[in-house]
A and B are shown apart, each in its own frame.
Chain A
Amino acid sequence: MTNGAAAFPATRREGSFEREPARRVFAGELRESRVHFKEGQDEKSPSFVLLPTGARCNRVFFVGTLTEKKRQGEQNLFYRARVVDPTGTFFVMAGSYQPEAMQQMARLDPPSFVAVVGKPTVYQTPDGAVLISVRCESITPVDKETRDQWVLDCAAATLDRLEKAASTPDGERARKEYGMDPAIFRKMAYEALAQLRL
């Protein structure tokens, strides 16, 4: 009698997946990230960038000032943009695999505050330099208040990561791979916060 109703939650549960959270990370920290890895053999298993503060990161969220955008390519059209936060610059890309983001990008005019959700990727240039850019999933215009909220949010997240890093495997790994002084990121957070007071 109730079989029909039971079937629905069961099938939905099977098809569910875990959405990766969007990490709050300052441009100054993301820029330092080099290590990227994939967990699991599956084609669809998520890939991660290891942040120097000791957390894996498949997706990022940041709010900053869009200072520059450029349309590039002929057959494979894509947008390249620079988004600046108090600590540095994010390099943002939106290509034909992100049609929504491309269209959002098309409607933006620098300079303006934007909120970006995207996936970080690590590139190595032919001359050996490592670059990190963010493949944009969405970029929306926001106001200054949202930017300020993000700075608080991101500073808090950075401090949280630093505190947890001592006791997590990812924290251990970050210490080994990067060997960076946690004080750098604490200072980065402090300086970002200090700018809000002005």
Chain B
Amino acid sequence: MDFSATAERISQKVVSRGHAVEKTAIETKLRRLVEEFGVPLGEAERTVTNELAREFSIQGLQTGGPGEAKTLDALAPGEWVTVEGKVVALTAPPSPSISQTGIVADTTAAVRFVIWSRANAPVLREGNWYRFESAVVDQYKGSVNLKVHSGTTITEVPAGGTIKPVITPIADLCPGIASVRGKMIQEWEATHDRILQSGLIADETGSARFVTWKEEGRERLNPGTVYTIFYATVDEFNGRLSLTLNTATVVPEEGDIEVNRGDTSFEGVFVHLAPGSGLIKRCPVEGCNRVLSRQNYCPVHEIQPTFQYDLRIKGWLDNGVETREVLVQRAETEGLVGMTLEQAREIAENTPLGMDEIFLRFRDALLGRYFSCRGREMDGRLLVSGCTPLRFQPERLADLLNRAGGSA
């Protein structure tokens, strides 16, 4: 193995501090550590550098990893690196064995970092620049991560330039850290107790789901508002990307943007109306909104006598070749069945069948009829944003007569 380059690097550092050092002596020490004791070269370099630093009482000589500081866009899993960057976000550590997590950014990119409790690292502050020497790059859930362990040295450094986060088009997102500019177009029912908010955010290129976990100081987004979101964490679940906003700085913007909702449309006949259509009761607990059972039982919040009513259609739309599950929310439902929520509530409260009566009326109004639904496909289900009944088209009759008669 060739130790001269490493020895050269160490000796230059020492010489630059005004001390004389024998390069061959350094090389011998390195060789001994590596060949005799099986120390990795990077670690051997550290050891020798430290030793010389002590010998000559030089402060701040240590450079852990081999070579100069890398830029964050050049990290590859498995590397030991030295990087400099600004801590742009700190997040609550998910486990006691982790002392800090957050995002560090330089002018080229941003990555997540994890500081293990055992690393004895200084407490980092958001907004400050640091140099991470001998940190390890690894991969976690498909994205690159910077791990700070006990061999890593963190020193605060002066700001290294202005960081302008690059805005990524939503269609181009990949796991890691990204900044996006988009409009919140949908808010979803929370599927988990710890979710503050989840929904969809879209820009001109596409849309992605987002989630904000409950945490001190986190706020909900407002539907219809455009936001610039700096340093969100992008994860991948089941092949779909999701933005976690807990790491992000979210800035509301003026004005509006054109969004690509990824809408599809589907024409067909309602062939089945699923239970859970019609008048339903929802859990009134803030952020829950789950559908209650007949006995007003919420799977999370138990009996909720002060439920809220809602109207919806859950059913299957079928074009004869393909059949799709569709979910229609109240606003569209009211128009389709010709009944407002208030009317439905009155009917349900004044007929012996109660809420079943509404289901039956929905069934009679929808089943066997032709509709065109427009919306976004999610988990094989069409979340309908617009739905209109189809009418008989005489021009289609003429076309079909030609087609059927053409070669008869």
Contact indicator A22/B323 (Cβ below 8 Å): yes
Contact check, B369 vs A115: say whether CB atoms are below 8 A apart.
yes
Q: Does A121 sit at the interface, judged by CB under 8 A? A: no
Q: Please encode chain B, from 218 to 247, with 1 for each CB lying within 8 Å of some chain A CB and 0 for all others.
A: 000000000000000001011010101000
Is residue A177 contacting chain B, with contact meaning CB distance below 8 A? no
Considering the complex, give the chain B residue whose CB is closest to the CB of A151.
Answer: B397
Closest chain B residue, CB of each to CB of A187: B408
Q: How far is the CB of B340 from chain A (nearest CB, A)?
A: 22
Interface status of A67 (Cβ within 8 A of chain B)? no
Bitwise, A52-65 to B at CB < 8 A (1) or not (0) is 00000001010100
Q: Which of A13, A23, A156 contacts B238 (CB 8 A)?
A: A13
- Residues in B305-343 with C-beta less than 8 Å from chain A: 316, 318-323, 325
Q: A2-B237, A5-B195, A115-B367 are in contact. Are A145 and B391 (CB under 8 A)?
A: yes
Kindly state the separation between the CA atoms of A117 and B367 in the bound complex, as whole angstroms.
Answer: 9
Which of B30-38, B54-62, B398-406 contacts its partner? B398-406
- Asked whether, in the complex, the Cβ of A10 is within 8 Å of the Cβ of B367, the reply is no
- Nearest CB of chain B from residue A63's CB, rounded to whole Å: 6
In the complex, the answer to whether B400 meets A189 with C-beta atoms within 8 Å is yes
B407, CB-defined interface residue at 8 Å: yes
Residues 70-125 of A at the B interface (beta carbon under 8 Å): 114-117
- A176 interface hit (Cβ, 8 Å): no
Q: Does A12 contact B (CB under 8 A)?
A: yes
Interface residues of B in 371-408 (CB under 8 A from A): 379-380, 390-393, 396-397, 400-401, 403-405, 407-408
Task: Report chain A residues within 8 Å CB of B244.
Answer: 2
Q: Do A21 and B404 touch across chains, with their CB atoms under 8 A apart?
A: no
Looking at the assembled complex, report how far the CB atom of B80 sits from the nearest CB atom of chain A, in whole angstroms.
27
- Is B192 interfacial (CB-CB < 8 Å)? yes
**B237: nearest chain-A partner, CB-CB:** A6
Say whether A186 contacts B396, CB under 8 Å. Answer: no
Within 8 Å by CB of B269, from A2, A20, A61, lies A61
Instruction: Report yes or no: B393 in contact with A22, Cβ–Cβ below 8 A.
Output: no
Chain A binding surface, main DSSP class = helix
Q: A22-B318, A197-B397 are in contact. Are A5 and B323 (CB under 8 A)?
A: no
Kindly state whether residue A166 has any CB partner on chain B within 8 Å. no
**Residues of chain B with a CB closer than 8 A to A27's CB:** none
Q: Is A156's CB under 8 angstroms from B400's CB?
A: yes
**B392: contacting residue among A4, A145, A159, A187, CB under 8 A:** A145
Number of interface residues of A (CB under 8 A): 48
Most chain A CB within 10 A, of B237, B244, B325, is at B237
Residues of A within 8 A of B194 (CB): 4
Minimum CB–CB distance from B404 to chain A (whole Å) comes to 4
Given contacts A145-B391, A152-B396, A155-B400, contact A1 B213 (CB under 8 A): yes
For residue B94, CB closer than 8 A to chain A, the reply is yes
A68 at the interface (CB under 8 A from B): no
Pick the contact of B364 from A23, A141, A153, A190 — CB < 8 Å? A141
Residue of A nearest to B363 (CB): A140
> What residues of chain B lie closer than 8 Å to A16, measured between beta carbons?
380
Q: Does B271 contact A (CB under 8 A)?
A: yes
A87 to chain B, nearest CB (A): 12
Instruction: Kindly state the separation between the CA atoms of A142 and B194 in the bound complex, as whole angstroms.
Output: 46
Cβ of A153 and Cβ of B320 under 8 Å apart? yes
Residues of A within 8 A of B363 (CB): 138, 140
Q: Are B211 and A5 in contact (CB under 8 A)?
A: yes
Kindly state whether residue B272 has any CB partner on chain A within 8 Å: yes
Q: Is the CB of B213 within 8 A of A22?
A: no
| Residue B370 is within 8 A (CB to CB) of chain A in the complex | yes
Flag whether B368 is at the interface (Cβ < 8 A). Answer: yes
Flag if A19 contacts B269 (CB, 8 Å). Answer: no
The answer to whether B316 touches A5, judged by C-beta atoms less than 8 angstroms apart, is no
Question: Which chain A residue has the least Cβ–Cβ distance from B393?
Answer: A152
Set of chain B residues within 8 Å of A20, measured between Cβ atoms: 323
Asked if A115 and B368 make an inter-chain contact with CB atoms under 8 angstroms apart, the answer reads yes
Q: A135 interface residue, CB < 8 Å from B? A: no
With A and B bound together, what is the CA distance between A7 and B404 in angstroms?
Answer: 51
Q: B351 an interface residue at 8 Å Cβ cutoff?
A: no
Taking A2-B244, A4-B194, A142-B368 as contacts, is the C-beta distance between A149 and B392 under 8 angstroms?
yes
Q: Within 8 Å CB of B316, what residues of A? A: 19
Residue ID in chain B nearest A104 by CB atoms: B363
Is the CB of B191 closer than 8 A to any CB of chain A? Answer: yes
Which residues does chain B contribute within 8 Å of A194, judged by CB atoms? 401
Contact A21 B321 (CB under 8 A): yes
Name the B residues within 8 Å of A159 (CB-CB).
Answer: 400, 403-404
B368 A189 Cβ-Cβ under 8 A: no
Q: Does A193 contact B (CB under 8 A)?
A: yes
Are the C-beta atoms of A1 and B192 separated by less than 8 Å? no
What 0/1 pattern do residues 136 to 178 of A give for CB contact below 8 A with B? 0110111001101100110111010000000000000000000
The 6 tightest CB contacts between A and B, nearest first, are A115-B368, A190-B404, A140-B367, A189-B404, A24-B320, A117-B271
Could you pull out 10 A-B pairs where Cβ atoms are within 8 angstroms? A4-B194, A19-B325, A117-B367, A148-B392, A149-B390, A152-B400, A157-B320, A186-B407, A193-B404, A194-B401
13 new A-B pairs (CB below 8 Å) besides A9-B379, A21-B321, A22-B323? A6-B238, A19-B272, A21-B319, A21-B323, A59-B271, A116-B368, A140-B363, A146-B369, A152-B400, A186-B407, A189-B400, A190-B405, A193-B404
Residues of B within 8 A of A (CB): 94, 191-192, 194-195, 198, 211, 213, 235, 237-238, 240, 242, 244, 269, 271-272, 316, 318-323, 325, 363-364, 367-370, 379-380, 390-393, 396-397, 400-401, 403-405, 407-408
